[in-house]
Amino acid sequence: MKLVFFFFNLIRKIENGKASSFISKEILEEIDEVLRRDKFATVLKVANTTADEVLSKIVSLSIIVIGPKLEENVVKEDKKR
């Protein structure tokens, strides 16, 4: 839950011009996948929002970075799944 509050506070800072967001298409896809996991359904419902709305907000506040795709995965295995 702490991570969710951190995330919403970060969004507020970006909205207020106190932080910037630079994000790649691949990271956006990962965020989309995470937001659609069952464990976030309750959090989104309590926040009265949807995964699509959160993703749209992130895109609207971010500078999309386009660069070469890395061929090597930095994280070999996601042990949290």
For the chain, the structural domain boundaries read: 14-65
Task: Report the pLDDT value the prediction gives residue 33, as an integer from 0 to 100.
Answer: 93
In this model, does residue 4 exceed pLDDT 80? no
Tell me how far apart the alpha carbons of residues 78 and 2 are, in angstroms, rounded to a whole number.
Answer: 20
20 touches 63 (CB < 8 A): yes
70 confidence band (pLDDT: 50, 70, 90): low
Task: Report the pLDDT value the prediction gives residue 19, as an integer from 0 to 100.
Answer: 94
Judged by average pLDDT, the poorest of 2-11, 36-45, 59-68 is 2-11
Tell me how far apart the alpha carbons of residues 43 and 30 are, in angstroms, rounded to a whole number.
Answer: 18
Query: Is the pTM of the predicted complex or chain greater than 0.85?
Result: no
